[in-house]
A and B are shown apart, each in its own frame.
Chain A
Amino acid sequence: MELTAFRNKLFAEGESLGLTDIELYYEKQESFSCQIFKGEIDEYESSTVNGVSVRGLYNGKMGYAYTEKLDEESVQFLLESVQENAVLIEDEPEEIFSGDANYKEVDYFSPSLSNITAEDKIAFLKEVEKKIYAYDPRVVQTDYAAIQDQSFEKELFNNKGLTLNDRNNFLSIIFSVVVKEEDEIKSDFYFKITKDFDSLHADEIAKEAVEKSLSYLGGRTYPNKNYPIVFKNSAAAALVSTFVSSFSAEAVQKGQSRLKGKLEEKIASDQVSLSDDPFLPDGIRSGTFDSEGVPTRKLTIVENGKLKTYFHNLKTAKKEGISSTGHGHKPSYKETIGVSPSNFFVIPGEKTYKHLYENLDEGIIITNLAGLHSGANPISGDFSLAANGYYVKDGEIVGPTNLMTIAGNFFEVLNDIEQVASDLEFSPMGGSGYIGSPSLKVKHLAVTVD
């Protein structure tokens, strides 16, 4: 069934069943990806999928349902499910937004990116892979050498007359390089998201990907103790992304955030400011309206260490008698409305990454974190994470450490940030917004080296 016909049928039948407000959220995603292995195409994938989510108010309560099959049978399934779910729900009612007069007019879709042919993308992939093998004899092989592009379209309709649409696209590449020296095997990956294919240079990528892996060869153990820490930008972004839910008003109102009651208070050192910018030209979460149809806007969350606001959707904002900050978020049509940042980042300072460690007598640089989904408690802020990195002595990088753990508490880390570098980078991890940070120097953390 065509979307318009499906919508008309759904709204008409829903109203006749006694649903007062009805919303239809449509999402379409197209993707292409290709992986190569030793010069040959190994995996090739293409897709077109869409799905719809329906919310409806029934007896004053909101019910949800979704489907990926747009047929008549699904209209009935959706409406019955919405009713059944609405009857049981015990939460405060959500509202369906009737719309705003002001939406920014920006199209985040890059037509030039979508015009790049599969052949060009595959040729680029092969070129980088070839350069990776040629770069150093210690390269054993790649674990992944892949390129992917994705485009998204979303449309939001409700029976109050609101109609909105938005689209975005981006391309990503990943190269994971395995290197070996004697019996020691090391591997790390290079990942990049961009909207500009021409900005990718095969030589630079191959160099960075291989050197990253090589830099971990010759790892040594060091005493277990507290060290001054420098988080390299991507590791800092990964750490921040793990604790982003603390800034959500939903978590605060449910008693699941340590930032509860801290508005206008200092929660971080003076060096720390955090901004959420839904209009970043290259942001993968850029858009002009949120999942509830509320216009998005740029927001300062933390200013020189002081907490200025939480992220709000319509429901959390109503509870506090304020307006939504435009952060109502549905990760996909398969989910309900929650709260999430858009493009959220630590505002960069002026110092270089090198400046952060060149005055240290002794310290550890963290370049990579693992186990973020298991070794961190997003509520308490406690973490104990596997990490890779380097040992620093007298301001110089001595060499890689063996696998480490670093342990501490995120909220203490915020207060212990002594310097912020200028090298803002966004993390590929995390479903909760597109999170970025420059490199950060932290007073100290407990380090255990294997």
Chain B
Amino acid sequence: MLNKALIENVLSAALTTGGDFSEVFVEDRYTNNMLHQGGRLEKSLSGRDFGVGIRIFKGLQSVYAYTNEFTEEGLLKAARAAAQAIEGNNTEKNIVLPMEKQSLLSSHPIQFMPASVEKSRKLAVLRNANEIVTNYDSSISQAILRLREEEQHVLIANSEGTFAEDKRVRSLLAITAVASDGNDMQTGSYGPGAHKGFEFIEGLDLNHYAKEAARSAVTMLHADPAPSGKFPVILDNEFGGVIFHEACGHGLEASSVAKNNSVFANMEGEKVASDFVTYIDDGTLTNEWGSINIDDEGEKARKNVLIENGILKGYMIDKFNGRRMEAASTGSGRRESYKFAPTSRMTNTYIAPGKSTPEEIIADTEYGIYAKYMGGGSVEPATGDYNFAINEAYLVKNGKIDKPLRGATLIGNGAKTIQKVDMVGNNLGHGAGMCGASSGSIPVNVGQPMLRVSEITVGGREAK
């Protein structure tokens, strides 16, 4: 990537106007994207992203500059220009990095690097998934399959002596089934992903994932409109955890906590959730989609308990916001690419398992909504107001799953919703997603066992 002497010179040049911390982030990334749609390979695109981000702190001020330059002259120029934004005294600093890069034994073993595998093998998997989806039912009109692979090689060095390299390898297959009965069109999807190479894609149980996507689309074709009103809501495991990602996760990030722009700011040690809720962010889970060896500031990934039995235990903190909070990094500094300054973000976040079985939770619910598969959502961290879509929902009546429902959106307030969790299941599962925020779009897992919230507002088309 870049040599040590050059990085030392850039780190030093960045501090010439009085900055107290400088950092260089170098990224070289190979990506492969394939789109199989309507029975044929429509897109196959390979690319190489390359760039350098230079960051300087002076107290609570942060300056970031990024470029595709890779010559010493170009990088020094970028570092000096960035330093001009700092209003301080001219100083001479000579940053010296350790002799050896921090050697990292990856906790996430990779078998087949995506760039090393012939694309015809990848196409074979897509064709197989296409077959399974389209053969599922006569109402399936097409399958949309997106394969996304990347090898992201990063080098991170800073004026405090961090000098580390990491390679993140990720693979994801997003399966969407489209079902149509002439007038109406409904979709079902499933998108398994991992911090793994091609072994993950080739080893996927397509009979499960592709069929589930198809089944979901067909089921929704025959679903009734969802009712409106306040109901108990049962959220299934895996991607169901997206509600707590939106409702609590974002509000526990230092990027909103540091400036008191979160309902969870200054609440450490306080009861913020029902006793059933233990919420964890763990970047160390082996080969999971949101896992990392080190974060994008060079800090080792770790397991952070955020809420334990309803008590707020800690936040996810990056270096810059940590300054305002007077708290150390929790290995949570992440960014989409060199085009973004890092900030505190989630990795694999989940609600820890409880004791109830899924059957018990359903049987205990007299009248409510069962959300089997969730779509995405968003939150306004300052207020905690969230919204998210249910992709596949059912009515629950007298302790039994009743008819399927479509078009249901859940809205509410995160701080209130986590106080209303009244049953937590024992079937913890994780789901892969992309999370967008100020430092870009990054891979994260959301997760939980099946759980129940005693009341959430459901917005459907049938006013009730």
Contacts and interface: CB of A to CB of B under 8 A. Distances in A.
Nearest to A189: B380
B388 A91 contact: no
A406 B260 contact: no
Contacts of A102: none
Given A42-B62, A67-B48, A254-B38, A371 B389 contact: yes
B68 A85 contact: no
Nearest to A216: B383
Contact of B66 (A49, A66, A77): A49
B228 to A, nearest CB: 4
Interface string B52-89: 00000000111111111110000000100110010000
A367 interface: no
A158 interface: no
A374 B45 contact: no
Interface stretch (B96-104, B178-186, B302-310, B326-334): B178-186
A159 to B, nearest CB: 20
Contacts of A282: none
B184 A380 contact: yes
A173 interface: no
Contact of B461 (A45, A90, A186, A407): A407
Interface string B206-236: 0000000000000000000010110000000
A66 B48 contact: yes
Interface string B369-402: 0000001111011110111110000000000000
A379 B119 contact: no
B399 to A, nearest CB: 25
Judged by DSSP, the binding face of B is strand
Interface string B27-51: 0100100000110111111111111
B376 A374 contact: yes
Contact of B45 (A46, A47, A49, A336): A336
A368 to B, nearest CB: 10
A314 interface: no
Interface in A435-450: 446-450
Nearest to A221: B457
B185 A375 contact: no
Nearest to A176: B382
Given A40-B60, A45-B65, A371-B388, A68 B49 contact: yes
A69 B69 CA distance: 8
B411 A41 contact: no
Given A187-B383, A382-B407, A67 B378 contact: no
B461 A370 contact: no
Interface string B449-463: 000000001111111
Judged by DSSP, the binding face of A is strand
Top 10 A-B pairs ranked by shortest CB distance?
A405-B459, A386-B387, A374-B376, A90-B40, A384-B409, A448-B459, A448-B228, A81-B46, A69-B50, A371-B387
A141 B407 contact: no
A302 interface: no
Contact of A375 (B81, B187, B339, B409): B409
5 contacts: A67-B48, A118-B85, A187-B383, A375-B389, A403-B411
B259 A90 contact: no
A51 interface: yes
B44 A85 contact: yes
Contact of B259 (A37, A70, A336, A370): A37
B261 interface: yes
A42 B40 CA distance: 49
A69 B70 contact: yes
A379 B142 CA distance: 13
Interface of B: 28, 31, 37-38, 40-51, 60-70, 78, 81-82, 85, 119-120, 123, 141-142, 178, 180, 184-187, 226, 228-229, 256, 259-261, 263, 339, 341, 375-378, 380-383, 385-389, 406-409, 411-413, 457-464
A89 interface: yes
Given A90-B40, A91-B41, A187-B382, A141 B260 contact: yes
A309 interface: no
A384 B67 contact: no
Given A74-B48, A85-B45, A375-B409, A45 B463 contact: no
Most chain B CB inside 10 Å of its own CB: which residue of A69, A226, A336, A448 = A448
Interface residues of A, number: 71
B314 to A, nearest CB: 22
Contacts of A379: 178, 185, 187
Contacts of A64: 43-46
A198 interface: no
Contact of B459 (A63, A255, A335, A384): A384
Given A141-B260, A178-B261, 15 more contacts: A50-B68, A64-B43, A68-B68, A81-B47, A89-B44, A91-B41, A185-B382, A255-B141, A334-B31, A373-B376, A380-B185, A382-B406, A403-B385, A407-B459, A448-B457
Contacts of A85: 44-46, 119
A449 B46 CA distance: 47
A77 B48 contact: yes
Contact of B120 (A68, A88, A384): A88
Nearest to B242: A374
Contacts of B228: 224, 405, 407, 446, 448
A370 B412 CA distance: 12
A218 to B, nearest CB: 14
B45 A407 contact: no
B120 to A, nearest CB: 7
B388 A374 contact: yes
A88 B377 contact: no
A184 to B, nearest CB: 9
A374 B178 contact: no
A223 to B, nearest CB: 8
B43 A384 contact: no
B411 A68 contact: no
A379 B180 CA distance: 11
Contact of B37 (A37, A254, A404, A449): A254
Contacts of A446: 228, 459-463
Most chain B CB inside 10 Å of its own CB: which residue of A45, A51, A77, A379 = A45
Contacts of B28: 69
Contacts of A258: 185
Interface in A192-213: none
B71 to A, nearest CB: 11
B259 A141 contact: yes
Contacts of A237: none
Contacts of A404: 411, 459
Nearest to A179: B382
Given A141-B259, A371-B409, A450-B412, A90 B41 contact: yes
Contacts of A143: 256, 259, 261, 381-382
A70 B411 CA distance: 47
Interface string A57-87: 0000001111111100010010001001100
